[in-house]
Amino acid sequence: MTLGFVIGESKPTVVTGQTSRSLPIGEYVIINSKEGKIVGLVEKSVVSSAALGDVKNYDETLESIEVAALNKRDKSHTAMIRILGFLESLQKGKAILPAIPPTPGTEIVKATKDDLGQIFGPENEEWIKIGGLLRNPEIDSLINLNKIVSRHLGILAMTGMGKSNLVTLLAKQIAELDGTVIIFDYHNDYSGLDFPKMNVIDAKINPRLLEADTLSDVLEIREGADIQQRVLRLAFTPEVKESANFWEALDSQVQYIGANPDRKEDRHSADRVQDKIDDARHRSSEILDPDMSNPVALIKEGRLNILNVSEFTDRQANVALAYYLQELLADRKAAVNAKGGKTKSKRSYRFNTPIFVIIEEAHVFIPKNEDAKAKYWAAKIAREGRKFGLGLCIVSQRPRDIEANVLSQMGSLAVMKIVQEDDQRQIASAAESISREFIGQLTSLNIGDAVLVGQWVNLPAIVHIDEMKGKKIGSDQDAVGEWAVAKKFEEVGAKSMKDLTRKDF
């Protein structure tokens, strides 16, 4: 179906189209150039009216509207169309741009399912469906799973725009393929999901396995409290680590150090450390468990593992994430090296196949300009994970607060609605393939719409992600509804109380 024609000045990368209707931004079209069919993406769309272009007052506007309605030539629909490459080469997974620009007068036609199906939905088991093209909805949008496990993924959007929905969709499909997924669930959003192959775990920390400075984080010893940190470091001896009754052994060792007559000034700090140990034992007893085996043993291969860290303080969550990331990387390294016969070391490993780790609220764990243990390990996995089959997915509503070095290592991105310019700028600098016009689109996306760029797609795509049915994840609270129900209960309660009173007396 003819949509219009190329007009004005053309370039090999961009043309202007004059069309019979306004083309929506994000629509894919075909330019029937002499050299072959070219795929184009509408990046800008303008409609203007000759009669209404230069009106001076209200009455003239009314008249001009009538004139415009009668004149078929009044409206002009102009579109800026970015050239993505020859259709034939794109269907084979390669983008080849024309050497010479399409001549003005070249026909622009609607892209069909036959044209685009192979590009956005290759028939290959690596590719899974996550939605449809936003402006060509009859065409499915698929993504290459292998690319995100080996080259990582960023899911970025304002709150409530569909990040967790996409996470659930991906995680479920990976688990269905017998892959291992771990979601680091900061707000306990995912444990209510109802899928087969789910393994919900309350994340725990075994304090015996930590380093002294990490233990001090877990006990919430203040960062500047140097003497307290020193006391803890001295008290955290190998004997304490191995003693049957860990907390008591640690507590008495701290007391012993505080009683050193040569360092009377330590006494007060040792008391404070004892308080902290006492606090941690009572307040965090659910999550600090010196009697558990390795926390990583709770994770199951071939499952969707949900690690609930919602009971942790931020510092504890940071320690836990750092611990899991470090262990997972070491495990995968051992597995890959053993398979390749590269190592003589006999470090045993748990996971035989690649793992995909998803970090929600990534800006908390991988913050810009701040040192954090989890950040160190996330950055290391972002750089090295590829070799060992450990993929990272960072999910955030504040891309501007994420360490740029880590964000730029994400080989693929799904970006949903984002209004803040700081965030847009950060995304633009992280992803070269995301053009300025695309970024401009981010403000106008609706819930569930996303721009997909990077290695998991053959072409940048504006899509609508399928909504996951089933239990709602992290949905907004229905305050008004809950108040109404509570009031009803109160009324019913009061009434039955009256009935009761009347009957009984």
Ligand X SMILES: Nc1ncnc2c1ncn2[C@@H]1O[C@H](COP(=O)(O)OP(=O)(O)OP(=O)(O)O)[C@@H](O)[C@H]1O
Token look-up 């243990």 returns: 373
> Residue 164 CB, nearest distance to Mg ion (Å)?
3
Numbers of helices and strands, H then E, in the chain: 17, 17
How many residues contact Mg ion, by CB under 5 A? Answer: 3
For every residue of 346-368, which 3-state class applies, written as one string?
CCCCCCCCCEEEEECCHHHHCEC
Nearer to Mg ion, 163 or 373 (CB): 163
Extract the tokens encoding 169. 């969709």
Nearer to ligand X, 231 or 442 (CB): 442
Q: Does 165 contact ligand X by CB under 6 A?
A: yes
- Among 163, 333, 350, 373, which residue interacts with ligand X (rule: CB under 6 A)? 163
Q: Does 161 contact ligand X by CB under 6 A?
A: yes
Nearer to ligand X, 221 or 463 (CB): 463
Q: Does 358 contact ligand X by CB under 6 A?
A: no
Q: Which amino acid is residue 197, in one-letter code?
A: K
Neighbours of 490 (CB within 10 A): 10
Extract the tokens encoding 339. 């398979």
SS3 of residue 142 by DSSP: strand
Q: Which CA distances in Å does 386 have to 3, 143, 173, 383, 389? A: 44, 18, 20, 7, 5
> Residues near 240 by Cβ (< 8 Å), separated by ≥ 6?
246, 249, 250, 253
Using alpha carbons only, give the angle 412, 416, 417 rounded to the nearest 5 degrees: 150
Question: How far is residue 317's CA from residue 315's CA, in Å, rounded to a whole number?
Answer: 5
Q: Does 473 contact ligand X by CB under 6 A?
A: yes
- Among 61, 293, 343, 475, which residue interacts with ligand X (rule: CB under 6 A)? 475
Q: Does 64 contact ligand X by CB under 6 A?
A: no
- Among 64, 164, 269, 396, which residue interacts with Mg ion (rule: CB under 5 A)? 164
> Residue 189 CB, nearest distance to Mg ion (Å)?
6
> Residue 196 CB, nearest distance to Mg ion (Å)?
22
Select from 81-89, 101-109, 162-170, 491-499 the region that touches ligand X (CB under 6 A): 162-170
> Residue 179 CB, nearest distance to ligand X (Å)?
21
Nearer to Mg ion, 16 or 397 (CB): 397
Nearest in space to 180 (alpha carbons), one of 351, 63, 386, 296: 351
Question: How far is residue 324's CA from residue 328's CA, in Å, rounded to a whole number?
Answer: 6
Q: Which amino acid is residue 247, in one-letter code?
A: W
> Residue 342 CB, nearest distance to Mg ion (Å)?
39
Nearer to ligand X, 350 or 363 (CB): 363
Nearer to Mg ion, 5 or 186 (CB): 186
> Residue 469 CB, nearest distance to Mg ion (Å)?
17
> Residue 448 CB, nearest distance to ligand X (Å)?
3
Q: Does 474 contact Mg ion by CB under 5 A?
A: yes
Strand order in the sheet with 449-454: 140-144, 127-133, 461-465, 449-454, 412-415, 153-156, 390-396, 355-359, 180-185, 304-308, 198-202
Select from 164-172, 304-312, 320-328, 421-429 the region that touches Mg ion (CB under 5 A): 164-172
Nearer to ligand X, 207 or 448 (CB): 448
- Site residues (vs ligand X, CB under 6 A): 157, 159-165, 397, 447-448, 465, 467, 472-475
- Site residues (vs Mg ion, CB under 5 A): 163-164, 474
